[in-house]
Amino acid sequence: MDPNLHVQENYANPKTCFFHVLFKAAALAFYILSALFISNFVIIFVMTVLLAALDFWVVKNVSGRILVGLRWWNEINDLGESVWRFECLDQESLARMNKKDSWLFWWTLYLTAVAWTVLGIFSLIRFQADYLLVIGVCLTLSVANIVGFTKCRKDAKKQIQAFAQQTIASHVSSTIQSAFSVV
Amino acid sequence: MSHSHSDTIPLHASSQSDIDEIENLINASVLSGPATVLPARPPSPPRAQIPVSSSPFIPSNIPPPPLASHQKPTPVPAAPPPAPVSSSSQGNRTVSSSGFGSAPNTLTEPVWNTVKRDLSRIVSNLKLVVFPNPYREDPGKALRDWDLWGPFFFIVFLGLTLSWSASVKKSEVFAVAFAVLAAGAVILTLNVLLLGGKIIFFQSLSLLGYCLFPLDVGALICLLKDSVILKVIVVCVTLAWSSWAAYPFMSSAVNPRRKALALYPVCLMYVSVGFLIIAID
């Protein structure tokens, strides 16, 4: 089991990775290419935003879980307050997550947001308010995912630390106990 | 949830070997039996399951995946195959997880379950908001698991319908409708918050979006039939329906003396959308 960590791994979940990238790339490609071929703004808007929304859903619910073992959502508790929840797989599986998968996950997440920002700057320069609207929506969706997963990852790291502390502490105490029982 | 935040953990290099040791320890104890198994996760606060109203929650019987390379090739990522892990995690098949070695139920559920769960949430939210039901008086309970998918679809649908019925300037109509509805929802929510009301931002956005459903229906009818009188009647009816749907949530969120201040902009927005529907031909 352990030697795998040192060997060059392939993607563990190629299909998930594919879908993770697919909708992002499709939204960007559609937006960029449609300006050349389609003159109807409504279609561009609806398709791009639809693809971006699908991508948001896929990243949040599917690839986040499978590629990096993280998940975040919002709940409203009984007191009527909104609570953000962050969930992660337990430590064993987190450690076993494929490195390539998570590399792909994070990098595409950031790159997409950057790409949308650049496109937004272009349409700002050209004073196209409608296209700015499209970009605004897509950017919001990307940024929401980035923020959510980053918080989730920080949370997971805190848990790992706490867990390590706890485990060390209980290991030490059980060692001491067994030492005393021997004596 | 976090324990002491201070960095008393040793430097990374040594902690890495500690973690390896811990992993071996876990594996050893796992193989030896559940008696002294340490929790695979630190006890997190009791994780409230996402309150699903209609669909039965499918308990996840799938512990975390064993090895990265062990994945079954399935169409559109499904859950990883069950792993031969400790018996303690297999015992946790119930919905109310104790956080003990059980794979978090929503983290390893198959994709199809997630889709079904989200779809049923949209339907139940719609029913709660728009149709008469016993929960309407208590806004906190009614839209507890808000979601933005329903509002998104409704806004886009309304924009599309308006754009379709317009004979000129279709793109502008769509863009204006979408922007007005989206910005309007945000501004209305801010209005309630600034009036000192107690409402949660996303919950209110979600509510205002769902209340567009009657107007969607009205716009669709107006698209199909072209007589002005019919349009006026249909729009009035659906307008009243939308306002009736939004009323309890908005009014209970603010001080009774400011109810009108909170409700007036909502009605104004729906009236202007109604005008858009009538005026477009």
pLDDT of B227 reads 86
- Percentage of chain A with pLDDT > 70? 91
Tell me which residue in B76, B172, B200 faces A82 most closely, judged by beta carbons.
B200
pLDDT along chain B (281 residues), means of 10: 44 51 56 44 42 38 39 38 35 34 54 84 85 68 78 92 87 88 91 84 88 91 87 91 85 81 89 88 72
- Cα–Cα dist A45/B160, whole Å: 11
pLDDT of B84 reads 37
Closest residue of chain B to A165, computed from CA coordinates: B9
- Cα–Cα dist A94/A102, whole Å: 11
| A12 interaction partners in chain B (CB closer than 8 Å) | 68-69, 71
B38-68 burial string, b = 16+ CB within 10 Å, else e?
bbbbbebeebeebebeeeebeebbbbbbbeb
pLDDT of B184 reads 92
Residue B193 near residue B200, CB atoms below 8 Å = no
- Cα–Cα dist B158/B149, whole Å: 14
What is the tens place of the pLDDT at every residue in A129-183? Answer: 888 889 999 999 999 999 988 888 888 888 888 888 888 889 999 999 998 887 6
Written as six digits, the tokens of B257 are: 């003396």
Q: Could you tell me the pTM of the whole model?
A: 0.68
Rg over alpha carbons for chain A, rounded to the nearest Å, is 22
pLDDT bin (cut points 50, 70, 90) of residue A52 is very high
Highest mean pLDDT out of A36-50, A110-124, B100-114:
A110-124
User: Which of A44, A90, A133, A152 is the best residue to mutate to test the B interface, defined by the most B CB atoms within 10 Å of its own CB?
Assistant: A90
CA angle B39-A74-A157, nearest 5°?
A: 40
pLDDT of B90 reads 34
Q: B71 vs A41: CB contact, 8 Å cut-off?
A: no
The set of residues, in sequence order, having a beta carbon less than 8 Å from that of B212 and lying 6+ positions away, is B151, B154, B155, B158, B181, B242, B273
pLDDT of B261 reads 85
Higher pLDDT, A40 or A29: A29
pLDDT of A25 reads 92
Is B169 near chain A, with CB under 8 Å?
no
Q: In this structure, what are the phi and psi dihedrals at residue A146, rounded to the nearest 5 degrees?
A: -60, -50
Higher pLDDT, A2 or B199: B199
pLDDT of A120 reads 92
Residue B78 near residue B111, CB atoms below 8 Å = yes
The set of residues, in sequence order, having a beta carbon less than 8 Å from that of B36 and lying 6+ positions away, is B29
SS3 B3: coil
For the question of an ipTM over 0.90, the answer is: no
